[in-house]
């Protein structure tokens, strides 16, 4: 496959970012986009996308389409991914793979049955600094890593609406436990758990605590302790309660220690990326790089990573963390 023909399904907060990036990918053409919202379709048309659809199944009917980028709300990941797989389209799907393990397994079966590729959008793997950390872990720079801490605290879905695409209301599905599948742990925690699993491999959940400071049915605070089979003990701390975005990682080994801020990105970095994008130069944002990896993997007939299996593994860890919290609640500890 030389040129990859893409379709974009779901043009909300994250889908818009993917559409913008997809339009700059080399050897790639965006053949169409789909969203139930007329406003979102107008946005796509204004960016030059000729074929837009309210019903994504119409987009999937295009025989020239090779792959789709799915940024639908979590409760539609299963349906969207299965329909795309049945239509024979390769899939880039936003994280989390699905709302829970059962749905994730159904997506993977359909992908396997239909012989298409699946990549899950854990973009931290495409942050160049975090990639270097992984190399330093493997080459023994830290010695034996003993303790790891990963923090991801922000306003979650509240904050992101104001950051990049202007003040738009937060879609209600984000705060419905049934539709979202989980709160801060599934949303922000899954990023950190995927990153640490990429660094250290298989893990088990030792303890997990959830907090409900905003009085929603979904957790807006979570702390989990993980033990990696061949590595360290890690604490993952996430929250949706803060106006300040703090995303960081700490690694303590027998030879070296590191504390690294992942976000907020410096304002200069954000401006520089925008300037580069305007001039059609390669964007170095992880969101751009992950799509570039997806497309080049399809061209080389290779499995893109994070794969569906990676996405499912992450859901399994999260599911165990939710179970642990329930046990802690039965014992009278855990939730605030
Ligand atoms: N990787 C990241 O950093 C990151 C950041 C934000 C969101 N996400 C993920 O992206 C996904 C979407 O999140 P969001 O915040 O963009 O949500 P959103 O609600 O802003 O966007 C979803 C879009 O899907 C559209 N939609 C709903 N039903 C549809 C249907 N049946 N057919 C076609 N379009 C439909 C909506 O109109 C909306 O435009 C979630 O899974 C979320 O976890 C990832």
What Å distances lie between residue 22 and 17, 34, 59, 91, 135, CA to CA?
9, 14, 16, 14, 28
CA distance 290 to 123: 6
User: If DSSP states are collapsed to H, E and C, what string results for 269-305?
Assistant: HHHHHHHHHHCCCCCCCHHHHHHHHHHHHHHCCCCCC
| Mean pLDDT in order along the chain per 10 residues (336 residues) | 94 94 95 97 96 98 98 98 98 98 98 98 96 96 97 86 62 95 98 98 95 92 95 96 91 96 70 62 81 98 98 98 79 62
Distance 129 CA to ligand 1 centre (A): 27
Please work out whether the CB of residue 198 comes within 6 Å of at least one atom of ligand 1: no
According to CATH, the topology of domain 125-265+314-330 is Dihydrodipicolinate Reductase; domain 2 (3.30.360)
Confidence (pLDDT) at 117: 98
* Conformation bin of residue 180: beta by default, left when phi > 0, alpha when psi is -120 to 50: alpha
| CATH class, range 4-121+274-307 | alpha beta
Quick one: 67 exposed, middle or buried, by C-beta within 10 A (0-12, 13-18, 19+)? buried
Please work out whether the CB of residue 56 comes within 6 Å of at least one atom of ligand 1: yes
Q: Whose CA is nearest to atom 43 of ligand 1?
A: 95
pTM, to two decimals? 0.94
Distance 174 CA to ligand 1 centre (A): 9
CB 106 within 8 A of CB 78: yes
CB 151 within 8 A of CB 239: no
Alpha helix positions (H), 164-250? 177-180, 184, 190-200
Quick one: 165 exposed, middle or buried, by C-beta within 10 A (0-12, 13-18, 19+)? middle
Distance 11 CA to ligand 1 centre (A): 7
Among 49, 57, 55, 54, CA closest to 6:
49
Confidence (pLDDT) at 253: 97
Query: What are residue 279's phi and psi, to 5 degrees?
Result: -90, 10
- Among 7, 56, 82, 94, say which to mutate for ligand 1: greatest number of ligand atoms within 8 Å of CB: 94
Please work out whether the CB of residue 147 comes within 6 Å of at least one atom of ligand 1: no
Query: What are residue 160's phi and psi, to 5 degrees?
Result: -60, -30
Angle between helices 101-114 and 77-86 (to 10 degrees): 10
Please work out whether the CB of residue 151 comes within 6 Å of at least one atom of ligand 1: no
Mention every residue, 6+ apart, whose C-beta is less than 8 A from residue 39: none
Confidence (pLDDT) at 263: 82
The strand pairing partners of 173, in sequence order, are none
Q: Where are the domains of the chain?
A: 4-121+274-307, 125-265+314-330
Distance 97 CA to ligand 1 centre (A): 13
Distance 267 CA to ligand 1 centre (A): 26
Please work out whether the CB of residue 247 comes within 6 Å of at least one atom of ligand 1: no
Please work out whether the CB of residue 66 comes within 6 Å of at least one atom of ligand 1: no
Q: 194 is written with which tokens?
A: 């995927």
- Among 9, 73, 104, say which to mutate for ligand 1: greatest number of ligand atoms within 8 Å of CB: 73
């Amino acid at each position: 496959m030389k040129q990859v023909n893409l379709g974009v399904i779901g043009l909300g907060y994250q889908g818009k970012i993917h559409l913008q990036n997809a339009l700059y990918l080399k050897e790639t053409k965006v053949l169409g986009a789909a969203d139930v919202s007329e406003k979102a379709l107008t946005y796509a048309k204004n960016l030059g996308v000729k074929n837009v659809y309210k019903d994504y199944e119409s987009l999937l009917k295009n025989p020239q389409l090779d792959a789709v980028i799915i940024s639908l709300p979590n409760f539609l990941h299963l349906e969207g991914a299965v329909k795309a797989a049945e239509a024979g389209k390769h899939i880039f799907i936003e994280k989390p793979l699905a709302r829970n393990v059962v749905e994730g397994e159904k997506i993977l079966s359909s992908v396997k049955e239909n012989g298409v590729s699946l990549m899950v959008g854990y973009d931290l793997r495409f942050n160049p600094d975090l990639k270097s950390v992984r190399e330093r872990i493997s080459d023994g720079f830290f010695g034996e890593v003993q303790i790891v801490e990963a923090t991801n605290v922000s306003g979650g879905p509240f904050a992101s609406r104001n950051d990049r695409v202007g003040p738009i209301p937060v879609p209600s599905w984000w705060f419905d436990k049934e539709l979202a599948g989980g709160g801060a742990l599934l949303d922000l925690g899954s990023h950190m758990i995927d990153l640490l699993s990429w660094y250290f491999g298989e893990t088990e959940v030792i303890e997990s605590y959830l907090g409900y400071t905003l009085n929603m049915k979904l957790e807006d605070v979570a702390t989990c302790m993980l033990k990696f089979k061949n590595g360290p003990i890690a604490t993952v701390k996430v929250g949706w309660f803060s106006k300040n975005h703090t995303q960081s990682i700490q690694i303590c080994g027998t030879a070296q220690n590191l504390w690294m801020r992942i976000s907020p990105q410096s304002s200069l970095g954000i401006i520089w990326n925008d300037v580069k994008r305007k001039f059609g130069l390669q964007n170095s944002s992880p969101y751009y790089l992950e799509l570039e990896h997806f497309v080049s993997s399809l061209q080389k007939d290779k499995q893109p990573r994070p794969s569906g299996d990676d996405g499912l593994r992450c859901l399994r860890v999260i599911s165990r963390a939710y179970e642990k919290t329930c046990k802690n609640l039965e014992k009278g500890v855990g939730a605030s």
